[in-house]
Amino acid sequence: MKVLISRNIPDTTAVRLMEEGFEVITAEKGKIWTSEELTKTCQNVDFLLHRGGTALDANFFQNCSHLKGIALTSVGYNHVDITAATKACIPISNTPDVLSEATADIALLLMLTVSRKAFFRANQIIRGEWQGLGSTDDLGVELYGKTLGIFGLGRIGLALARRAKVIYGMDIIYYNRHRNVEAEREVDAVYVSFDKLLEKSDVISIHANLSSETKDRFNATAFKKMKKSAIFINTARGKIHNEVDLTEALVNGDIWGAGLDVTNPEPMLPSNPLLSMSNVCVLPHIGSATVETRTKMTLMAVNNLIAVKNGKKMPQVVNA
Ligand code: DGY
């Protein structure tokens, strides 16, 4: 049984696959696959262990219907045509839960660095532009006691809400497709309509999947309804906000600042005006990028492949 690992993973997880009798084919470090290359290489394997980057579309599944299972090392699977995978009878797994704490940390980091303009300030020192700060020049704002609005209160949203509540005494409001009673009980989160979330939040943090319902949800209309003092944080998927509208909202002062770990496209072009704004911090999609979390994610993916090889259902299957 051969498995293609399309992006580098920790050595320990590749060893685990070999112990289970898989023949492992590993991509060269940093390889970015075209769809054609990935489809061609998959002709010679039985399983695929895959991260984001190259989309697995209907064409891929048509040409790779022999695959016995695909384990994703990501919680999001918007880059995979799940309907086409199901039609080809290929089980797909993802990695829920294990990246919630690491991603919530990045959301909090963005909240802090944007509210205090810390990233911009640090870069002023690096560029030799810091002349000393006058007492009222370009000040930051505080998070303590403010209202955090969470769009999509699942596992990651709740991990952020705990931090915001305990460390910063923030009030938590949220908008979700369904009410999250656990969160309401644990962090006193209050369920509100989407418009109320926009109107009442001092910080809005996105923790929803990308879907037809959430794509471009944060657009000019939404930004106009937010407080002029609001900070917008997105660590979920770049297509949930409209980048042109976000840029205009920041330039026009419709909102106060933004922190992004996800952009559209990724990587963001160096010429993007957002990158030179003092009230914006953009990170290169590092929500899950810790040794601990990436190890847990790849081990989870590996266990899903082992399950299929042993004739069992993938524990984290997304297309049951
Ligand atoms: C995910 O797992 O979906 C995160 O965005 C990390 O890639």
Contact 76 CB / ligand 1 (< 6 Å): yes
Cβ-contact 120, 279 below 8 angstroms: yes
Using the mean position of ligand 1's atoms as its centre, give its distance from the Cα of residue 127 in Å: 32
36-40, 50-54, 228-232: range with lowest mean pLDDT: 50-54
Residue from 99, 266, 298, 300 to probe ligand 1 pocket by mutation (most atoms less than 8 Å from CB): 99
Q: What is residue 30's predicted lDDT score, i.e. its pLDDT?
A: 84
Q: What is residue 281's predicted lDDT score, i.e. its pLDDT?
A: 98
Instruction: In whole angstroms, give the CA distance from residue 27 to residue 45.
Output: 13
Contact 156 CB / ligand 1 (< 6 Å): no
| Angle in degrees, CA 170, 217, 190, rounded to 5 | 30
Q: What is residue 53's predicted lDDT score, i.e. its pLDDT?
A: 82
Sign of the dihedral through C-alpha 247, 251, 255, 261: positive
Q: Which two tokens stand for residue 96?
A: 């829920």
Q: Which of 52, 41, 71 is nearest to 305 (CA)?
A: 71
Q: What is residue 32's predicted lDDT score, i.e. its pLDDT?
A: 87
The string of pLDDT tens digits covering residues 280-300 is: 999 999 999 999 999 999 999
Q: Whose CA is nearest to atom 3 of ligand 1?
A: 76
Closest atom of ligand 1 to 297 CA is: 2
Task: List, by residue number, the catalytic residues.
Answer: 237, 266, 285
The string of pLDDT tens digits covering residues 118-162 is: 999 999 999 999 888 677 778 999 999 999 999 999 999 999 999
Using the mean position of ligand 1's atoms as its centre, give its distance from the Cα of residue 225 in Å: 29
Instruction: In whole angstroms, give the CA distance from residue 174 to residue 273.
Output: 30
Residue type at position 288: S
Q: Whose CA is nearest to atom 2 of ligand 1?
A: 74
Closest atom of ligand 1 to 288 CA is: 6
Contact 74 CB / ligand 1 (< 6 Å): yes
Domains within the chain, CATH numbers bracketed? 2-98+290-309 (3.40.50.720), 100-282 (3.40.50.720)
Residue type at position 56: L
Using the mean position of ligand 1's atoms as its centre, give its distance from the Cα of residue 206 in Å: 13
Closest atom of ligand 1 to 99 CA is: 2
Virtual CA dihedral for 265, 118, 207, 221, nearest 10 degrees?
-70
User: What global pTM score does this model have?
Assistant: 0.94
Q: What is residue 90's predicted lDDT score, i.e. its pLDDT?
A: 98
Q: What is residue 94's predicted lDDT score, i.e. its pLDDT?
A: 97
Residue from 75, 93, 155 to probe ligand 1 pocket by mutation (most atoms less than 8 Å from CB): 75
Using the mean position of ligand 1's atoms as its centre, give its distance from the Cα of residue 99 in Å: 8
243 CB neighbour count, 10 Å cutoff: 19
Contact 99 CB / ligand 1 (< 6 Å): yes
Cβ-contact 150, 174 below 8 angstroms: yes
Residue whose pair of structure tokens reads 């990045």 in the numeric block: 106
Name residues whose C-beta falls within 8 Å of residue 241's C-beta, 6 or more positions apart in sequence: 206, 216, 217, 218, 219, 232, 234, 260, 264
Does 245 score more than 90 pLDDT? yes
Q: What is residue 214's predicted lDDT score, i.e. its pLDDT?
A: 98
Please provide residue 96's backbone torsions phi and psi, each rounded to the nearest 5 degrees: -70, 165
Q: What is residue 263's predicted lDDT score, i.e. its pLDDT?
A: 98
Percent of the chain with pLDDT over 70: 99
CA contacts within 13 A on the Cβ side of 232: 35
142 CB neighbour count, 10 Å cutoff: 10
Cis amide bond preceding 10, omega within 30: no
